[in-house]
Amino acid sequence: MYEHRRQPVLPRRDFIARLGRHAVVSAAFVAVSLVIGTVGYHAIAGLAWIDAFLNASMILTGMGPVNSLTTSAAKLFASCYALYSGIVFVAAVGVVAVPILHRLLHRFHVDG
């Protein structure tokens, strides 16, 4: 998937295409996570779709919940979703950062 250190640095056009593919994968991961959160808040917490979407997106971006939750099931879901969202954020940033870091390190190791 990535060039070996003995291979030349990937041309800029190919690098941008690689970065774009990583961004699409990261965005898809975030979108699926947003759907999971929206459906969970709607089904478990009984929030309207728009409120469920708002809560899921606020938790996913690290801003915090908007609506107060009254049932134990809703609170457990929100807790698990918040922990999951933290991992999603780190993973999404990592997926986009990997090609950039690889290119930077590869430039230091190219012979000649």
Q: Give pLDDT tens digits for 12-25.
A: 999 999 999 999 99
User: Is the pTM higher than 0.75?
Assistant: yes
Q: Give pLDDT tens digits for 63-110.
A: 988 999 999 999 999 999 999 999 999 999 999 999 999 988 887 776
Neighbours of 27 (CB within 10 A): 13
Q: How many CA atoms lie within 13 A of 7 on its CB side?
A: 9
Domains of the chain: 12-109 (1.10.287.70)
In the chain, at which residue ranges do the beta strands (DSSP E only) sit?
A: none
Q: Give pLDDT tens digits for 55-64.
A: 999 999 989 8
